[in-house]
Structure 1
Amino acid sequence: MKNFLVLQTDFGISDGAVSAMYGVALTVDPTIRIFDLTHDIPQYNIWEGGYRLYQTISYWPEGTVFVSVVDPGVGSERRSIVAKTSKNQYIVTPDNGTLTQIKQQIGIVEARIIDEKVNRLPHSGESYTFHGRDVYAFTGARLATGIISFEQVGPEIQVESIVELPVPEVTISKGAVSGHIDILDVRFGNLWTNIDRELFKQLNVEYGDSFEVVIENETRQVYKSIMTFGRSFADSHLGEPLLYINSLDKLGVALNQGSFAKAYHVGSGANWKISIRKAQNIIYN
């Protein structure tokens, strides 16, 4: 049985890099079905590459093979691996932290190092800077089409040895929950936090409640205001901010029909902290 092949990179589509990966996969099997997750991962941003996998992978069928290439260490001693998830999908990627969210949130049951002696594009052995084409697309296509089995990828490694990036913690104390802005909903400018819905509910929240939201970049406060917790964007007026639960069951911050990130110059990552506390006795004039 042939499975789908899904590609993700930080290459963009302004040159031929992604097209070359398509070409390699189609040379392996011209009937393979190839899809794009995204090729707009910010350059070298391993965290975001991992997050986009986490955001997407659960909605694809069992057996789907993902190739994720955000690889600032290409040509170094970092490992090239294929990981099998708890949902029986496969991820072909450098072992550089890309699998952090998958390992922690979804689960990895087995992993193997790619044996490049057999799983590398023929006649590419002297190339060290385009493993996305020469190793990952080639191996991913062979795995998706059944030319090789997972066991034929290469030697098994301990799942515990897979590289993980630091993950900021979420805390709840004295009626406030504090976390980080994991990522931006890029097109619409919403903030996606690492605060889980169940943890947020420990503040005894109801739709329509008002909350004080404070956002800091390291030690600098960049935003502090009151906003409403709504079921959807329609629960606020045009241009108003709101708290909501996003599609990953995490707390999000949005500006109704506007970009919160652009309006308040907010970014994402470990340096971007957010604290949320129920506001009492708020009076609007």
Structure 2
Amino acid sequence: MPNALVFQSDFGVSDGAVCSMYGVAHSVDDSLNIFNLTHDIPPFHIWEASYRLFQTTAYWPVGTVFVSIVDPGVGSERRSLAVRTIDEKVIITPDNGTLTHLKQFTGIAEARIINESTNRLPDSGESYTFHGRDIFAYTGARLASGSLAFEEVGPSAEPHTVCSLEMSPPFLSSNCVCGIIDILDIRYGNLWTNIHRSFLNELDIYYGDTLEVKIEKGSKLCYSRQMSFGRSFADSRVGEPLIYVNSLDHIGVAINQESFADSYQIDTGCSWKISLKKVQEKR
């Protein structure tokens, strides 16, 4: 039985790009089960592509093949990679930073450079702008179907050479924890940080406490306010901000039934800093 094949891209679904990748995959093996992680990655947003893989891959069975295409360098000298993670998922993607979070938090067991001469959709050799269809979807489908062994993808590469984007780990500073806005909970506009719940434990912060929250972009202060640390959205009134623990056990920031990101024009990445500090009760 073929392994699952999961697609992710910044293509959207308003034209035929995604559908053509499905067609290529089914031409390899029409019994393949194909799923979409998302095709709504903002155009060229490699950081978000990296995070969405990290957010998702752990919940899929061993052997699942993921094809991720956010590829502003298509046609350049950047490498095309197939990697096997420590937890035995396979990722097919350009080597442009898309594997940053998986490399850091899951681990890459093995990497191979895709041989684009042998692992390419037949009769597509003169096309250099749609590797998502011609190389990545085709190779991913062959791996998922079992018609191509991982060792046949191409020459091996040292996992440490896989390209990584800059990361900024969370840290404690006096009675404050500092981190970044890692990603948005897109539909609801909540902010997901890279601060694990355990940091709050170290600062003796518990549900019901009031925290001072500051968000900065570079040297610009974009938000500063006190809010409560709640167990769920039900712990705040509609329209009130709150701190909570998200589904990945990291700290989130939200406005109950409103978009925090839209309200304050907050985005993601290492340049978006956040700090949390417990407000001490007056005696």
Gaps of 5+ in 1: none
1:252 corresponds to which letter in structure 2? G
The answer on 1:222 being equivalent to 2:222 is: yes
1:159-201 deviations in Å (ceiling 9; x for gaps): 0100000001312111000111011111000001111111222
TM-score by length of 1: 0.97
- The answer for the alignment partner of 1:35 in structure 2 is 35
Equivalent-residue separation in structure 1 for 2:273 and 2:163 (angstroms): 24
- The answer for the alignment partner of 1:175 in structure 2 is 175
- The answer for the alignment partner of 1:157 in structure 2 is 157
Equivalent-residue separation in structure 2 for 1:270 and 1:173 (angstroms): 18
Runs of 4+ aligned residues of structure 1 deviating over 3 Å after TM superposition are none
Q: Give 3-state SS (helix, strand or coil) of 1:205's partner.
A: coil
Equivalent-residue separation in structure 2 for 1:185 and 1:129 (angstroms): 31
- The answer for the alignment partner of 1:120 in structure 2 is 120
- The answer for the alignment partner of 1:83 in structure 2 is 83
Superposition pairs for residues 88-167 of structure 1, below 5 Å?
88-167=88-167
Equivalent-residue separation in structure 2 for 1:82 and 1:54 (angstroms): 16
Q: Give 3-state SS (helix, strand or coil) of 2:77's partner.
A: coil
1:50 corresponds to which letter in structure 2? S
1:82 corresponds to which letter in structure 2? A
Equivalent-residue separation in structure 2 for 1:222 and 1:116 (angstroms): 46
Q: What displacement does 1:117 show?
A: 2.1
Q: Give 3-state SS (helix, strand or coil) of 1:36's partner.
A: strand
Measured on the aligned residues, the alpha-carbon RMSD in Å equals 1.1
8 Å CA contact 2:66–2:90 kept in 1: the answer is yes
Q: What displacement does 1:217 show?
A: 1.3
- The answer for the alignment partner of 2:198 in structure 1 is 198
1:51-101 deviations in Å (ceiling 9; x for gaps): 000111111111000000000000000000101011111000000000000
- The answer for the alignment partner of 2:249 in structure 1 is 249
- The answer for the alignment partner of 1:51 in structure 2 is 51
Q: What displacement does 1:262 show?
A: 1.2
Q: What displacement does 1:269 show?
A: 1.5
1:229-276 deviations in Å (ceiling 9; x for gaps): 111111111111111111111110011111111112222122211111
Equivalent-residue separation in structure 1 for 2:9 and 2:83 (angstroms): 17
1:149 corresponds to which letter in structure 2? A
Q: Give 3-state SS (helix, strand or coil) of 1:119's partner.
A: coil
Equivalent-residue separation in structure 2 for 1:217 and 1:96 (angstroms): 24
Equivalent-residue separation in structure 1 for 2:136 and 2:12 (angstroms): 17
1:19 corresponds to which letter in structure 2? C
1:191-234 deviations in Å (ceiling 9; x for gaps): 01111111222111111011000111111111111111111111
- The answer for the alignment partner of 2:3 in structure 1 is 3
Q: Give 3-state SS (helix, strand or coil) of 1:48's partner.
A: helix
Equivalent-residue separation in structure 1 for 2:160 and 2:224 (angstroms): 40
Equivalent-residue separation in structure 2 for 1:238 and 1:247 (angstroms): 21
1:19-55 deviations in Å (ceiling 9; x for gaps): 1100000000111110000000000000000100011
Q: What displacement does 1:282 show?
A: 6.6
- The answer for the alignment partner of 1:232 in structure 2 is 232
The answer on 1:72 being equivalent to 2:69 is: no
- The answer for the alignment partner of 1:63 in structure 2 is 63
